[in-house]
Amino acid sequence: MTNSTHGVSVLILTKNEEQDLPGCLQSVAWSDDIHVYDSISTDSTVEIAQSFGATVTQRPFDNWASHQNWGLANIKFKNPWVFYIDADERMTPELVESVLSAVKSATEEVAFSVRRRDFFMDTWLKHVQTSPYYLRLFRPERMRYERLVNPVSIPDGPSAKISGYLDHFPFSKGLEHWIARHNSYSNLEAKQIIENRRGQAPFSLAKAITSTDFHERRFHQKEIFYRLPMRPVVKFLVLYVGKRGFLDGRAGLTYAALQSIYEYLIVLKTAQLEKQKAAKASSVKAVDMSEDRVTASN
């Protein structure tokens, strides 16, 4: 790995992004090492990336954490730092300056968080946005991801925040695309909840508060939210009232409603998976009992 003038490579994840990729590539043109990590697109995404001079790596998508961890481990970056960006995002000039300044002055930091601005209905969702800060600038060997969807960034070392905005346009392909994508995400979210519960003791409010084991305490704390009555309504109230999403006008109201519907899909699909799991366990138990009876009769 060698240092270049800028010292920052760019990683763009894509899947059929011919519409949004050109604008994204233009916003990161300052980097001398741009990688497009593609999930086997069937449109002109790869051709657009290659025409721009980006290095293309293709791999079938399995889940978010696995896909991103594979990319960081196997893509050969030219520079010691990587800035990760999606095709529907744009780096502002102020953010570019902050990124280049951060890597020059970094001492113990292995990652930096940037503030993202989500736009919907020509409105910056300044209040209703769930979390504005994301770890996007990092040393690839010191970063890993967890969770099947909406992955959590886990840096192996100190991190800090930098100024400037990363602009995000999640509805650039239309409302229908956003809904279809989040319907798919809800499948993975439900699977993640079931996976989290595998091998764990039954939910305990006491353990959520008093357990000295961090992982055990975190599991039971998450279960508090997953088990909330009327969780989709709670999600709406948190975003629209608690985070003052009403200040974002009609866009804030619509976005909070969409997020509550997304949460409801997760609730329904988790219950469905739990029911399927219970039915499978019951079936296996019945087969075992039948075999025991046959053995006894012999």
Query: What is the residue extent of each domain of the chain?
Result: 8-168, 175-286
pLDDT (tens digit per residue) in 160-184: 999 999 999 999 999 999 999 999 9
Q: Which CATH architecture has domain 8-168?
A: Alpha-Beta Complex (3.90)
Name, in order, each residue with C-beta under 8 angstroms of 272's C-beta and a sequence gap of 6 or more: 190
Q: Are strands 123-124 and 111-120 parallel, antiparallel or unpaired?
A: antiparallel
User: Whole-model pTM?
Assistant: 0.85
Closest CA to 136 of 27, 19, 248: 27
Q: Are strands 8-14 and 123-124 parallel, antiparallel or unpaired?
A: unpaired
Q: pLDDT value at position 80?
A: 97
Residue 64, φ and ψ in degrees, nearest 5: -65, -50
User: Taking a C-beta distance cutoff of 8 angstroms, is the pair 187, 112 a contact?
Assistant: no
Q: pLDDT value at position 202?
A: 80
Closest CA to 154 of 238, 72, 34, 264: 72
E-strand ranges in the chain read 8-14, 34-38, 55-58, 81-86, 89-91, 111-120, 123-124, 133-138, 143-146, 152-155, 159-168
Residue 273 has a CB neighbour count (10 Å cut-off) of 16
The ranges of the chain with pLDDT < 70 are 1-6, 208, 214-216, 218-220, 286-298
pLDDT (tens digit per residue) in 87-144: 999 999 999 999 999 999 999 999 999 999 999 999 999 999 877 899 999 999 999 9
